[in-house]
């Protein structure tokens, strides 16, 4: 008879573990994700996990639902924060890395394990396809806390958002081929276009429908509920039609953050929704790394240390072979600094997605247990060693030298463009060429741009107080823009005019 875990105890235990991990991380100055993985490993090796029912909950329930339950909120929250101007400048590289990069990495990794290491061809390519996609949770968490330029973070976020579709399709083709020599490449290409394009259309459709619904509501709680419906609705609809649910979630997140939140959501609701999704993404991220820890058996990994080390080196080499040519050819055309390439290579973290896909391997595959061990070992090394290495690399190299001048120039250019755009809006509004709604939408776009610039200035510090002063001054002048009634926002606040035009006496 199957006994169900006490969900109240499980949820309480998970929340307690998250709080414990946060405290330990802060006290010991260790990345939060590493702490969670270690806690997960310790739980899996102890009786406490059985008492709380956490291991059984992860294995029997969360394991099969992980991709559809945990990854979508992480993906949505990240894509929601990407501005359209940044996405347009980075989407081509992100998509190339997510498609050609994953395919090239799979081929190179499989060839190394087959021809050099000596593993059977089928198992070599099966493992390589399983481990090639970068993990959404790992990448998003890493670049959220690292001080990197917004455009680089957008490239990495875009790759992580879209390469899951490529990875799952390539893995499915290898899994069902039976032999690497009989891969149906044309069928695979057609399937990829179908899955990816369908996810794109579903994401746009859900985003547009949500915008219409959002225009009919005006309270923060309803907006938060609607945003949850967007995430899981887009994922469920896309997967039910045979499309990529993660692509649908990523596209709907971009639409929601760049269109819906700017055009129809009130400022109070917008702030509440952003806070809500930061909390939800934090919880989902914590669950993802606990999942990795609970699936890791250190004794088993130690016994297979040599082959895991070889597999990790193979994965890193295949990442290098895939990224450097792509960045050399396409990155230079897009004006990407060459010294970003090392960060993109090292930022190819592996994580829970690969662990989840292990369950898709049939039990009759001869080296199934070996492949599972290799995947868990590579993921463990990626989280424990690759993340901290990348953090130190960025601290030592990325914020120095030419990057400082490029950041300064980028801020200068964006400030100039914002000034020109605000002047144009002001002129056209005074001439009645645009409506109040168009003016408000334009100012909202520029406010978001300037808010991002202020963040960049705070990050880069070396450009100095001049750039900071210019950004703040322009931002204040924009937010104090005089309305048609002749009063600025500050003047309205002084006499107590609310957002709905209600007048009242401002209380001291």
Share of the chain above pLDDT 70, in %: 77
pLDDT value at 402 more than 50: no
pLDDT of residue 207: 94
Cα separation of 252 and 202, whole Å? Answer: 8
pLDDT tens digits for range 312-328 = 999 999 999 999 999 98
What confidence tier does 55 reach under pLDDT thresholds 50, 70, 90? low
How remote is the C-alpha of 503 from its chain's centroid? 43
Closest to 214 measured CA to CA, from 440, 502, 206, 501: 206
244 vs 314, more confident: 314
Share of the chain above pLDDT 90, in %: 19
What does DSSP assign to residue 101?
A: I
Q: Which residues contact 95 (CB under 8 A, 6 or more apart)?
A: 158, 162
pLDDT tens digits for range 20-43 = 888 888 888 777 888 888 888 887
Correct CATH for 66-398 of 2.40.50.140, 2.60.40.10, 3.30.565.10, 1.20.1530.20: 1.20.1530.20
CB 30 within 8 A of CB 286: no
Instruction: Tokens 């606990």: give the residue.
Output: 290
Question: For the stretch 309-329, what's the b/e string if a residue is b when 16 or more beta carbons lie within 10 angstroms of its beta carbon?
Answer: ebbbebbbebbbbbbbebbee
Return mean pLDDT, the chain.
78
Cα separation of 231 and 73, whole Å? Answer: 7
Question: For the stretch 112-137, what's the b/e string if a residue is b when 16 or more beta carbons lie within 10 angstroms of its beta carbon?
Answer: bbbeeeebeebbbbbbbbbbbbbbbb
What confidence tier does 477 reach under pLDDT thresholds 50, 70, 90? low
pLDDT tens digits for range 444-465 = 877 777 776 666 665 554 444 4
- For the chain, residues classed under CATH 1.20.1530.20 are 66-398
Query: What three-state secondary structure class fits 330?
Result: helix
pLDDT of residue 502: 45
CB 385 within 8 A of CB 432: no
Q: Which residues contact 445 (CB under 8 A, 6 or more apart)?
A: 262, 421
Q: Which residues contact 227 (CB under 8 A, 6 or more apart)?
A: 76, 210, 256, 273, 276, 277
pLDDT tens digits for range 345-394 = 988 888 777 887 787 787 777 888 889 899 989 999 988 888 888 878 87
HSE value, Cβ hemisphere, 13 Å, CA-based, for 332? 5
Quickly count: other Cβ atoms within 10 Å of residue 163's Cβ.
Answer: 29
How remote is the C-alpha of 185 from its chain's centroid? 29
């Amino acid at each position: 008879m199957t006994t169900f875990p006490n969900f109240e105890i499980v949820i309480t235990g998970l929340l307690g573990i998250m709080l414990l991990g946060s405290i330990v991380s802060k006290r010991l100055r260790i990345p939060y994700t590493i702490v969670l993985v270690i806690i997960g490993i310790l739980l899996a090796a102890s009786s406490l996990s059985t008492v709380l029912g956490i291991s059984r909950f992860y294995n029997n329930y969360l394991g099969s639902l992980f991709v559809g339950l945990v990854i979508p909120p992480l993906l949505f929250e990240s894509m929601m924060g990407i501005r359209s101007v940044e996405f347009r400048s980075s989407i081509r590289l992100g998509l190339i890395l997510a498609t050609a990069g994953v395919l090239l990495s799979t081929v190179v990794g499989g060839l190394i394990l087959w021809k050099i290491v000596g593993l059977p061809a089928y198992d070599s390519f099966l493992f390589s396809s399983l481990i090639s996609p970068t993990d959404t949770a790992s990448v998003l968490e890493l670049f959220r806390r690292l001080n990197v330029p917004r455009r680089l973070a957008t490239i990495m976020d875009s790759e992580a958002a879209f390469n899951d579709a490529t990875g799952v399709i390539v893995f499915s083709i290898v899994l069902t081929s039976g032999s690497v020599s009989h891969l149906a490449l044309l069928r695979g290409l057609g399937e990829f276009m179908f899955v990816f394009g369908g996810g794109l259309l579903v994401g746009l459709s859900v985003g547009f429908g949500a915008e219409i619904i959002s225009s009919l509501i005006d309270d923060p709680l309803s907006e938060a509920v609607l945003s949850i419906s967007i995430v899981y609705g887009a994922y469920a609809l896309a997967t039910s039609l045979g499309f990529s649910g993660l692509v649908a979630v990523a596209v709907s997140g971009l639409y929601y953050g760049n269109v819906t939140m700017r055009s129809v959501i009130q400022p109070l609701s917008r702030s509440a929704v952003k806070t809500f999704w930061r909390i939800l993404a934090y919880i989902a991220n914590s669950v993802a790394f606990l999942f990795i820890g609970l699936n890791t058996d250190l004794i088993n990994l130690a016994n297979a240390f040599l082959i895991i080390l070889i597999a990790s080196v193979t994965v890193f080499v295949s990442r290098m072979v895939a990224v450097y040519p792509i960045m050399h050819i396409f990155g230079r055309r897009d004006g990407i600094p060459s010294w970003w390439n090392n960060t993109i290579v090292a930022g190819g973290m592996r994580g829970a997605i690969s662990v989840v896909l292990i369950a898709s391997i049939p039990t009759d595959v001869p080296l199934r247990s070996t492949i599972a061990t290799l995947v868990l070992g590579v993921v463990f090394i990626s989280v424990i060693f690759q993340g901290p290495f990348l953090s130190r690399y960025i601290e030592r190299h990325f914020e120095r030298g030419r990057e400082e001048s490029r950041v300064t120039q980028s801020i200068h250019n964006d400030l100039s463009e914002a000034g020109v755009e605000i002047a144009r809006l002001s002129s056209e509004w005074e001439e009645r060429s645009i409506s109040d709604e168009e003016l408000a939408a334009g100012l909202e776009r520029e406010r978001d741009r300037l808010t991002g610039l202020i963040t960049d200035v705070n990050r880069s510090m070396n450009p100095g107080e001049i750039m900071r002063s210019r950004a703040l001054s322009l931002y204040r002048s924009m937010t104090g823009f005089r309305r048609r009634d002749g009063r600025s926002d500050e003047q309205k606040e002084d006499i107590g005019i609310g957002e709905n035009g209600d007048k009242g006496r401002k209380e001291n």
